[in-house]
Chains A and B, each alone.
Chain A
Amino acid sequence: MNDKLSEQTKQLRKQFARTFNNDGLLDFFVGWGVVSVGLFLLTKSMIFSFLGWMPILLVAPLKMKIVIPRWGYARFSEPTSIPKPILIGAGVVIVVGALLIYFLFDDLGGILSPIAMALIGLSLVVVLTTGLNRVAIYAIGIPLFFIVGLGLKVLTPTFIILVGAVLMIIGLSLFVIFLKKYPLIKED
Protein backbone atom coordinates (compact mmCIF):
# COMPACT_ATOMS: atom_id res chain seq x y z
CA MET A 1 0.00 0.00 0.00
CA ASN A 2 1.50 3.37 -0.97
CA ASP A 3 2.39 6.11 1.54
CA LYS A 4 -0.51 8.39 0.60
CA LEU A 5 -3.03 5.59 1.15
CA SER A 6 -1.39 4.63 4.44
CA GLU A 7 -1.72 8.21 5.67
CA GLN A 8 -5.38 8.25 4.68
CA THR A 9 -6.03 4.94 6.44
CA LYS A 10 -4.48 6.40 9.61
CA GLN A 11 -6.87 9.35 9.36
CA LEU A 12 -9.81 6.98 8.92
CA ARG A 13 -8.73 4.95 11.96
CA LYS A 14 -8.64 8.14 14.04
CA GLN A 15 -12.08 9.13 12.76
CA PHE A 16 -13.53 5.70 13.65
CA ALA A 17 -11.90 5.72 17.09
CA ARG A 18 -13.23 9.22 17.79
CA THR A 19 -16.81 8.18 17.06
CA PHE A 20 -16.45 4.97 19.07
CA ASN A 21 -15.24 6.95 22.08
CA ASN A 22 -17.84 9.70 21.81
CA ASP A 23 -20.45 7.64 23.63
CA GLY A 24 -19.90 9.62 26.83
CA LEU A 25 -19.68 6.55 29.11
CA LEU A 26 -16.15 7.18 30.29
CA ASP A 27 -16.79 10.91 30.72
CA PHE A 28 -19.86 10.17 32.84
CA PHE A 29 -18.12 7.70 35.14
CA VAL A 30 -14.96 9.80 35.46
CA GLY A 31 -17.27 12.69 36.36
CA TRP A 32 -18.94 10.49 38.99
CA GLY A 33 -15.48 9.61 40.35
CA VAL A 34 -14.64 13.31 40.70
CA VAL A 35 -18.00 14.02 42.35
CA SER A 36 -17.32 11.19 44.81
CA VAL A 37 -13.96 12.69 45.77
CA GLY A 38 -15.78 15.97 46.48
CA LEU A 39 -18.45 14.18 48.52
CA PHE A 40 -15.75 12.29 50.41
CA LEU A 41 -13.96 15.53 51.29
CA LEU A 42 -17.25 17.08 52.30
CA THR A 43 -18.60 14.23 54.42
CA LYS A 44 -15.43 12.26 55.30
CA SER A 45 -17.53 9.15 54.64
CA MET A 46 -15.43 6.23 53.37
CA ILE A 47 -18.32 4.94 51.29
CA PHE A 48 -17.62 7.59 48.65
CA SER A 49 -14.04 6.38 48.19
CA PHE A 50 -15.53 3.05 46.99
CA LEU A 51 -18.53 4.49 45.16
CA GLY A 52 -16.17 6.76 43.25
CA TRP A 53 -14.03 4.25 41.41
CA MET A 54 -16.18 1.12 41.35
CA PRO A 55 -18.62 2.26 38.61
CA ILE A 56 -15.60 2.79 36.29
CA LEU A 57 -15.53 -1.02 36.09
CA LEU A 58 -18.89 -0.82 34.30
CA VAL A 59 -17.45 1.03 31.29
CA ALA A 60 -16.15 -2.06 29.46
CA PRO A 61 -19.32 -4.20 29.92
CA LEU A 62 -21.54 -1.25 28.94
CA LYS A 63 -19.43 -0.71 25.82
CA MET A 64 -20.05 -4.33 24.87
CA LYS A 65 -23.79 -4.16 25.59
CA ILE A 66 -24.67 -0.70 24.29
CA VAL A 67 -21.96 0.78 22.08
CA ILE A 68 -20.73 -2.17 20.00
CA PRO A 69 -24.23 -3.33 18.92
CA ARG A 70 -24.93 0.23 17.73
CA TRP A 71 -21.61 1.42 16.34
CA GLY A 72 -20.20 -1.95 15.42
CA TYR A 73 -17.07 -3.89 16.19
CA ALA A 74 -13.73 -3.49 14.47
CA ARG A 75 -10.25 -4.71 15.26
CA PHE A 76 -7.47 -2.39 14.18
CA SER A 77 -4.06 -3.61 13.16
CA GLU A 78 -2.30 -0.65 14.78
CA PRO A 79 -3.14 1.29 17.92
CA THR A 80 -5.12 4.44 17.12
CA SER A 81 -3.68 6.34 20.02
CA ILE A 82 -0.29 7.94 20.40
CA PRO A 83 2.51 5.52 21.40
CA LYS A 84 2.52 4.41 25.05
CA PRO A 85 6.12 5.56 25.79
CA ILE A 86 5.19 9.10 24.71
CA LEU A 87 2.04 9.04 26.87
CA ILE A 88 3.94 7.70 29.88
CA GLY A 89 6.70 10.28 29.33
CA ALA A 90 4.14 13.09 29.08
CA GLY A 91 2.39 11.80 32.20
CA VAL A 92 5.65 11.73 34.18
CA VAL A 93 6.61 15.25 33.03
CA ILE A 94 3.16 16.62 33.96
CA VAL A 95 3.03 14.93 37.37
CA VAL A 96 6.61 15.96 38.22
CA GLY A 97 5.82 19.49 37.02
CA ALA A 98 2.69 19.58 39.15
CA LEU A 99 4.63 18.34 42.20
CA LEU A 100 7.30 21.01 41.61
CA ILE A 101 4.56 23.65 41.49
CA TYR A 102 3.23 22.22 44.74
CA PHE A 103 6.57 22.29 46.56
CA LEU A 104 8.05 25.46 45.05
CA PHE A 105 5.03 27.74 44.72
CA ASP A 106 2.87 26.69 47.64
CA ASP A 107 2.73 30.27 48.89
CA LEU A 108 1.16 31.55 45.66
CA GLY A 109 -2.16 30.07 46.77
CA GLY A 110 -5.19 31.30 44.87
CA ILE A 111 -3.16 32.86 42.04
CA LEU A 112 -2.59 29.43 40.51
CA SER A 113 -6.15 28.17 40.95
CA PRO A 114 -7.11 29.08 37.36
CA ILE A 115 -4.28 26.78 36.24
CA ALA A 116 -6.07 23.74 37.69
CA MET A 117 -9.27 24.79 35.92
CA ALA A 118 -7.45 25.51 32.67
CA LEU A 119 -5.69 22.14 32.76
CA ILE A 120 -8.88 20.14 33.17
CA GLY A 121 -10.51 22.31 30.49
CA LEU A 122 -7.57 21.65 28.19
CA SER A 123 -7.78 17.91 28.87
CA LEU A 124 -11.48 18.01 27.98
CA VAL A 125 -10.88 19.89 24.74
CA VAL A 126 -8.17 17.43 23.74
CA VAL A 127 -10.42 14.49 24.63
CA LEU A 128 -13.41 15.83 22.71
CA THR A 129 -11.63 17.02 19.58
CA THR A 130 -9.01 14.38 18.92
CA GLY A 131 -8.92 10.67 18.35
CA LEU A 132 -6.51 10.27 21.26
CA ASN A 133 -7.07 7.63 23.86
CA ARG A 134 -9.59 9.08 26.34
CA VAL A 135 -8.44 6.80 29.14
CA ALA A 136 -4.89 8.13 28.83
CA ILE A 137 -6.03 11.74 28.72
CA TYR A 138 -8.17 11.33 31.83
CA ALA A 139 -5.43 9.30 33.53
CA ILE A 140 -3.15 12.31 33.17
CA GLY A 141 -5.70 15.14 33.44
CA ILE A 142 -7.59 14.09 36.56
CA PRO A 143 -4.57 13.40 38.83
CA LEU A 144 -3.06 16.64 37.60
CA PHE A 145 -6.25 18.48 38.51
CA PHE A 146 -6.13 17.09 42.05
CA ILE A 147 -2.36 17.39 42.54
CA VAL A 148 -2.28 21.02 41.46
CA GLY A 149 -5.59 21.99 43.01
CA LEU A 150 -5.34 20.20 46.35
CA GLY A 151 -1.59 20.84 46.57
CA LEU A 152 -2.19 24.54 46.34
CA LYS A 153 -5.16 24.26 48.70
CA VAL A 154 -7.40 26.00 46.18
CA LEU A 155 -9.89 23.18 45.57
CA THR A 156 -12.96 23.19 47.73
CA PRO A 157 -15.22 20.10 47.90
CA THR A 158 -18.03 22.13 46.30
CA PHE A 159 -15.81 23.11 43.37
CA ILE A 160 -14.70 19.48 42.91
CA ILE A 161 -18.34 18.32 42.93
CA LEU A 162 -19.21 20.99 40.36
CA VAL A 163 -16.37 19.94 38.05
CA GLY A 164 -17.44 16.29 38.35
CA ALA A 165 -21.06 17.22 37.71
CA VAL A 166 -20.05 19.07 34.54
CA LEU A 167 -18.19 15.97 33.33
CA MET A 168 -21.24 13.82 34.13
CA ILE A 169 -23.54 16.17 32.21
CA ILE A 170 -21.16 16.14 29.23
CA GLY A 171 -21.01 12.33 29.40
CA LEU A 172 -24.77 11.99 29.64
CA SER A 173 -25.33 14.41 26.75
CA LEU A 174 -22.82 12.53 24.56
CA PHE A 175 -24.52 9.26 25.51
CA VAL A 176 -28.00 10.50 24.56
CA ILE A 177 -26.67 11.91 21.26
CA PHE A 178 -24.92 8.58 20.58
CA LEU A 179 -28.11 6.56 21.23
CA LYS A 180 -30.16 8.84 18.97
CA LYS A 181 -27.56 8.91 16.20
CA TYR A 182 -26.86 5.19 16.21
CA PRO A 183 -30.01 3.09 16.72
CA LEU A 184 -29.68 -0.69 16.61
CA ILE A 185 -29.45 -2.24 13.15
CA LYS A 186 -29.95 -5.92 12.43
CA GLU A 187 -27.75 -8.04 10.22
CA ASP A 188 -29.33 -9.80 7.28
Chain B
Amino acid sequence: MTHENPLDPLELSDIDRIIHSPTRLKILVVLVTVEEADFTFIARTTQLTRGNLSANLKKLEDAGYIKVTKDFIDRVPKTLVSITDDGKKALENYSSILGPILDELRK
Protein backbone atom coordinates (compact mmCIF):
# COMPACT_ATOMS: atom_id res chain seq x y z
CA MET B 1 0.00 0.00 0.00
CA THR B 2 1.46 3.43 -1.00
CA HIS B 3 0.68 6.67 0.77
CA GLU B 4 0.81 9.97 -1.13
CA ASN B 5 0.09 11.88 2.05
CA PRO B 6 -0.28 9.78 5.20
CA LEU B 7 -2.03 12.66 6.99
CA ASP B 8 -4.81 12.74 4.41
CA PRO B 9 -7.95 12.09 6.53
CA LEU B 10 -9.23 9.75 3.83
CA GLU B 11 -6.35 7.38 4.59
CA LEU B 12 -8.02 6.68 7.92
CA SER B 13 -11.10 5.38 6.14
CA ASP B 14 -9.12 2.28 5.21
CA ILE B 15 -8.43 1.42 8.85
CA ASP B 16 -9.83 -1.94 9.89
CA ARG B 17 -12.24 -1.21 12.75
CA ILE B 18 -12.06 -4.78 14.02
CA ILE B 19 -8.33 -4.41 14.70
CA HIS B 20 -8.47 -0.72 15.65
CA SER B 21 -9.98 -1.57 19.04
CA PRO B 22 -7.16 -1.58 21.66
CA THR B 23 -8.56 -4.75 23.22
CA ARG B 24 -8.62 -6.74 19.99
CA LEU B 25 -5.26 -5.30 18.95
CA LYS B 26 -3.77 -6.56 22.22
CA ILE B 27 -5.19 -10.03 21.57
CA LEU B 28 -3.83 -10.15 18.02
CA VAL B 29 -0.40 -8.91 19.11
CA VAL B 30 -0.21 -11.77 21.62
CA LEU B 31 -1.45 -14.32 19.08
CA VAL B 32 1.03 -13.24 16.42
CA THR B 33 3.87 -14.22 18.77
CA VAL B 34 2.62 -17.78 19.32
CA GLU B 35 1.50 -20.72 17.21
CA GLU B 36 -1.50 -21.19 19.50
CA ALA B 37 -2.49 -20.23 23.03
CA ASP B 38 -5.24 -21.09 25.44
CA PHE B 39 -7.81 -18.74 26.98
CA THR B 40 -5.87 -18.38 30.26
CA PHE B 41 -2.61 -17.43 28.53
CA ILE B 42 -4.34 -14.73 26.48
CA ALA B 43 -6.17 -13.43 29.56
CA ARG B 44 -2.89 -13.27 31.52
CA THR B 45 -0.82 -11.60 28.86
CA THR B 46 -3.47 -9.06 27.85
CA GLN B 47 -4.79 -8.59 31.41
CA LEU B 48 -8.37 -8.70 30.12
CA THR B 49 -11.31 -9.96 32.14
CA ARG B 50 -12.97 -13.26 31.14
CA GLY B 51 -16.10 -11.63 29.77
CA ASN B 52 -14.27 -8.95 27.83
CA LEU B 53 -11.85 -11.50 26.38
CA SER B 54 -14.63 -13.90 25.38
CA ALA B 55 -16.64 -11.18 23.65
CA ASN B 56 -13.64 -9.89 21.70
CA LEU B 57 -12.44 -13.36 20.74
CA LYS B 58 -15.89 -13.95 19.28
CA LYS B 59 -15.65 -10.75 17.19
CA LEU B 60 -12.20 -11.70 15.93
CA GLU B 61 -13.39 -15.22 15.12
CA ASP B 62 -16.42 -13.88 13.24
CA ALA B 63 -14.08 -11.65 11.20
CA GLY B 64 -12.00 -14.72 10.33
CA TYR B 65 -8.89 -13.30 12.00
CA ILE B 66 -8.53 -16.06 14.56
CA LYS B 67 -9.36 -19.75 14.77
CA VAL B 68 -10.84 -21.13 18.01
CA THR B 69 -10.69 -24.86 18.67
CA LYS B 70 -11.47 -27.04 21.66
CA ASP B 71 -8.82 -29.57 22.56
CA PHE B 72 -7.61 -31.65 25.48
CA ILE B 73 -4.22 -30.97 27.05
CA ASP B 74 -3.29 -33.53 29.70
CA ARG B 75 -6.95 -34.64 29.71
CA VAL B 76 -8.12 -31.12 30.55
CA PRO B 77 -10.41 -29.39 28.00
CA LYS B 78 -8.83 -26.21 26.63
CA THR B 79 -9.95 -23.47 24.28
CA LEU B 80 -7.05 -23.02 21.90
CA VAL B 81 -6.79 -19.89 19.81
CA SER B 82 -4.52 -19.13 16.86
CA ILE B 83 -4.25 -16.26 14.40
CA THR B 84 -5.25 -17.05 10.81
CA ASP B 85 -3.48 -15.95 7.63
CA ASP B 86 -6.26 -13.39 7.14
CA GLY B 87 -5.60 -12.12 10.66
CA LYS B 88 -1.87 -11.72 9.93
CA LYS B 89 -2.59 -9.92 6.67
CA ALA B 90 -5.10 -7.60 8.38
CA LEU B 91 -2.55 -6.80 11.10
CA GLU B 92 0.13 -6.01 8.52
CA ASN B 93 -2.30 -3.86 6.56
CA TYR B 94 -3.29 -2.00 9.73
CA SER B 95 0.35 -1.40 10.58
CA SER B 96 1.10 -0.16 7.04
CA ILE B 97 -1.71 2.42 7.25
CA LEU B 98 -1.19 3.62 10.80
CA GLY B 99 2.63 3.45 10.80
CA PRO B 100 3.20 6.23 8.22
CA ILE B 101 0.62 8.46 9.93
CA LEU B 102 2.37 8.14 13.29
CA ASP B 103 5.77 8.64 11.64
CA GLU B 104 4.49 11.81 10.00
CA LEU B 105 3.06 13.13 13.29
CA ARG B 106 6.37 12.52 15.05
CA LYS B 107 8.25 14.77 12.59
Chain A interface, >50% SS class: mixed
Q: Which residues of A contact B34 (CB under 8 A)?
A: 13, 16, 74-77
Which residue of B29, B37, B76 is within 8 Å of A72 (Cβ)? B37
Q: Which residues of A contact B76 (CB under 8 A)?
A: 69
A46 at the interface (CB under 8 A from B): no
Pairwise interchain contact B35-A72, C-beta atoms closer than 8 A: no
Min distance, Cβ B23 to any Cβ of chain A, angstroms: 15
Min distance, Cβ A181 to any Cβ of chain B, angstroms: 10
CA distance A145 to B40 in the complex (A): 38
Min distance, Cβ B41 to any Cβ of chain A, angstroms: 3
Q: Which residues of B contact A64 (CB under 8 A)?
A: 73-74
Min distance, Cβ B9 to any Cβ of chain A, angstroms: 25
Pairwise interchain contact B36-A74, C-beta atoms closer than 8 A: yes
B92 at the interface (CB under 8 A from A): yes
Pairwise interchain contact B40-A5, C-beta atoms closer than 8 A: no
Within 8 A of B (CB), among A2-33: 2, 5, 9, 12-13, 16
Pairwise interchain contact B33-A13, C-beta atoms closer than 8 A: yes
B15 at the interface (CB under 8 A from A): no
Pairwise interchain contact A73-B50, C-beta atoms closer than 8 A: no
A68 at the interface (CB under 8 A from B): yes
Closest 3 CB pairs of A and B: A72-B41, A72-B40, A74-B37
